[in-house]
Amino acid sequence: MTSIAGFRFSAAAAGIKKNGGLDVALVVADEPVAAAGVFTRNLVRAAPVDVAEERVSRGRLQAVLVNAGNANACTGEPGLRAVLDTTAAVAEALGVEPSRVAPASTGVIGKVLPTEQIVAVVPTLVAELSADGAGRFAEAILTTDRWTKTATAEVRQGEQVARFLGIAKGAGMIHPDLGPQRPLQPAGPPHATMLAFVVTDAVVDVQLLQQCLERAADLTFNACSVDGDTSTNDTLLVLASGRSGVTPSAEELTAALVEVCRPLAREMVRDGEGAEHAVDIVVRGLESEAAARQIAKTVATSPLVKTALYGKDANWGRLLAAAGRAGVPFDPRVASVRVGDVCICERGLPTGAEAEARAAVIMRENTYAIELVLGEGPGEFTYVTSDLGHGYVDVNAGYRS
């Protein structure tokens, strides 16, 4: 696992996960470093999200404490107290201000985070911090995920290199809507969630980092969907140590964040609860990126489209019908639809059974792209979605029973 100058990681088993696996993770910077974050825009949010947003808004963090197995959501005052107490325990052990420690939680809802169990492993977490500990960190934050999710990127300036490492989890309730906008009121419920953490040794201005992170989130995590349901705990944090001495431009910084976040988002979809496919829904030819995004999102979240993906059915009719209800103007008579390189609909009319049969073969792949060209405009956007089949029903109809 890549290491990033200025950061150390650790993980421990606090007994929150029933299977006894790693369930608490810590990343620590050598000193307070530039930080930015985006959080779920769901009105209903868990206590750790509110605390993390408040702390990151100060622009500097030194540590992030993550737990899996308990979302600490819909837990009221006791839940908030658990967030404050556990992060305070980490701050004390590290000798830093509590406001420098951001929390993040994922797991079942309606149960207060077990403060004592977490506080009990803090000495271990701090003692075992290691520059090579990112792999254990990535494992500890998983819930229903089948595999760990990490990605890297670099910004090169001559001989110098700034490195980026992203670590994420997420497999259900995946339809992130991350942004700076504060909802009305805190509170909190649900369960499966996306959490993602990026550490870099780039030199960054905090405001610029926040702006670039918001743009990168819009192009990656906010453009993927397993089930169209936005969690109450979704969190994306980035910490920058500056140790590389490389100061990326805004474009370089955004590009590097996208390069890290895009594969993490794709892996979350591919690991979607019960999913067998991760499909890029590429929409082109609209007046603007926003118009293309709206259509891509509508197609990517259509249950009829997602069941067709599961059934390997090159159903251009469902694709066009979903596009048509997105609320964005286009002329269906010029629409074309491609599955991989096979055109199944040209100028709004089907190209025939033979083409659909060839497309169905492509739809057996784990990942492929469906392209809707709906005009001549410059606006395009790609959404990543999963299929909806029996596995999804099994996971979600029986989640709590």
Residues of the shown chain interacting with a second copy in the complex, contacts defined by CB under 8 A: 41-45, 73-76, 109-110, 172-173, 177, 183-191, 227-232, 301-304, 307-308, 310-311, 313, 315-318, 320-325, 329-333, 335, 345, 348-350, 388-390, 392-393, 396-401
Cβ at position 194, least distance to a second copy in Å? 13
Give the E-state strand segments of 216-277 in sequence order: 224-225, 235-240
Cβ at position 176, least distance to a second copy in Å? 11
Cβ at position 39, least distance to a second copy in Å? 13
Q: Which is nearer to a second copy, 128 or 346 (CB)?
A: 346
User: What is the distance between the terminal CA atoms of the chain, rounded to a whole angstrom?
Assistant: 37
Cβ at position 319, least distance to a second copy in Å? 9
Cβ at position 379, least distance to a second copy in Å? 16
Cβ at position 399, least distance to a second copy in Å? 7
Q: Which is nearer to a second copy, 170 or 248 (CB)?
A: 170
Q: Which is nearer to a second copy, 232 or 244 (CB)?
A: 232
Q: Among 227, 302, 232, which Cα is nearest to 74's? A: 232
Task: Say how many CA atoms lie within 13 Å of 401 toward its Cβ.
Answer: 5
CB count in 10 Å sphere of residue 400: 9
Q: How far apart are CA 282 and CA 277, in angstroms?
A: 15
Q: Which is nearer to a second copy, 62 or 67 (CB)?
A: 67
Q: Which is nearer to a second copy, 150 or 231 (CB)?
A: 231
Size of the chain, expressed as the number of residues it contains? 401
Q: How far apart are CA 236 and CA 198, in angstroms?
A: 8
Buried b (16+ CB within 10 A) or exposed e, 45-70: bbbbbbbbbebbeebbbbbbbbbbbb
Residues 115, 193, 220, 298: which is the catalytic one?
Answer: 193
Residue pair 46/146 in contact by the 8 Å Cβ criterion:
no
Q: Which is nearer to a second copy, 41 or 60 (CB)?
A: 41
- Give Cα separations from 86 to 12, 80, 117, 342 (angstroms): 14, 10, 10, 54
247 is catalytic: no
Q: For residue 318, give the amino acid letter.
A: R
| CA-only gyration radius of the chain, Å | 21
Residues annotated as catalytic (active site), given as ranges: 193
